[in-house]
Amino acid sequence: MPRRTVYEAKVEFVQILDEDGGFDEKLGKDLISDEQVVALYEHMVTCRELDEIAFKLQRSGRMGTFPQNKGQEAAAIGTAHALIKGTDWLVPCYRENAALFMHGLPMHYILLHWMGDERGNEIPPGVNITPLCIPIGTHMLHAAGIAYASKLRNEGRVVATFFGDGATSEGDFHEAMNFASVFQAPIVFLCQNNQWAISVPRESQTASETFAQKAIAYGMPGTQVDGNDLFGVYKVVKEAVDRARDGGGPSLIEAVTYRLGDHTTADDARRYRDQAELDAWLAKDPLIRLRKYLETNDLWDDQMQTELDEKAKVIVREVVKTAEGIESPATEDLFNYTFANLPDGIITQRDTLRTASIGQNPAQIGLRTQRQNA
């Protein structure tokens, strides 16, 4: 036979809770308990409050550049809920605050990071999270390495790593995917397709109809899910996590969502994004969607929302107070936390706040004279 089909594939799209609050009972039955949904919604609202206040901190000059998470909370929370806290690893980029808090990162650490305080990157012991990664895509290699190490040690851990649609144009993405697949590392690649890589639209950076289909080239499952649907995200991630933990290797999940804010506070999305597009996605806000579900099932009402909004404000005020009230770092910290054992030359620099290199070390002053006379 001179011509035959050697491979065929398909990519599924999963949605359980639509933007109008409609719920697929078949896919979503007993997926997340009522108590858990309420708790996750409360966490989502609190994280949105922190997001809004962080934006105001930057605008008032109290914090540096900040990337809002607004609109992408369901993808982060659904993923975090599918992992085992204290066992599995989260390897984030910089728009997954809600997931990091669920897995033990104190909320004020995020503010410290964007305030330029390195103590915001000092992850507490026992919290299986890597620091925020600003360079696009580089952290996926770290995630693949952590997952492979876990496999070699037979630890039973799974790694989930987040990245945006723009990161799939980076070589690091492809290298991490290939490595993870070849060595069957227990990792879930979670692409948050928020439609824009800063000002570059999705259709201008890939000819693929979906990002999920990029998994096919690496021999792993690829699934597309409504990224604003908490239930849908949890279901597909949980299936991928269980598969990885059972030795089935990596998966790629494309969470279709939207960045409701600017790329960062240094960006103005009005210059490249139509208001009509933004308005359409505002109606798909994961917070609005989940509240509709709760109200439809008599799990939520206006009074509860009022109480939660006030509680969230109190929590966030305390978080800001903690971040801004932290003791200023000492100059010596620049040296003390860079080396495990300080070399003598570095100790001299730390104690004198001057370099001790050739030409500045008094014991070597003769060398300078010799060069001048030569």
Q: Give Cα separations from 89 to 145, 158, 240, 361 (angstroms).
A: 12, 6, 14, 47
d(CA 20, CA 193): 21
Active site (catalytic) residues: 259, 263, 272
Per the CB < 8 A criterion, the answer to whether 201 and 193 are in contact is: no
d(CA 328, CA 325): 9
Computed over its alpha carbons, how large is the radius of gyration of the chain?
24
d(CA 154, CA 241): 16
DSSP string, 189-220: EEEEE-SEETTEEGGGT--SS-SGGGGGGGTS
Q: What is the pLDDT along the chain (374 residues), one digit of tens a residue?
A: 689 999 999 999 999 999 999 999 999 999 999 999 999 999 999 999 999 999 999 999 999 999 999 999 999 999 999 999 999 999 999 999 999 999 999 999 999 999 999 999 999 999 999 999 999 999 999 999 999 999 999 999 999 999 999 999 999 999 999 999 999 999 999 999 999 999 999 999 899 999 999 999 999 999 999 999 999 999 999 999 999 999 999 999 999 999 999 999 999 999 999 999 999 999 999 999 999 999 999 999 999 999 999 999 999 999 999 999 999 988 888 888 888 899 988 888 888 887 755 445 555 555 555 555 55
* CA angle, 318 then 324 then 327, to 5°: 115
pLDDT at position 360? 54
pLDDT at position 357? 58
pLDDT at position 358? 47
d(CA 269, CA 198): 8
Burial degree of 171 (CB within 10 A; 0-12, 13-18, 19+): exposed
pLDDT at position 359? 46
Tokens of 230: 């908490």
Give 67's DSSP letter.
-
Per the CB < 8 A criterion, the answer to whether 143 and 89 are in contact is: yes
Beta bridge partners, 223, equal: 12, 253
d(CA 174, CA 355): 42
Ranges assigned E (strand) in the chain? 12-14, 89-91, 159-164, 187-193, 196-197, 200-201, 222-226, 251-256
Cβ atoms within 10 Å of 334's Cβ, excluding its own: 13
Per the CB < 8 A criterion, the answer to whether 250 and 188 are in contact is: yes
Structural domains in the chain, CATH included, are 12-324 (3.40.50.970), 333-373 (no CATH)
Question: 111-129 burial by CB neighbour count: b if 16+ within 10 A, else e?
Answer: bbbbbebebbeebeeebbb
- Residue whose structure tokens are 């925020």: 132
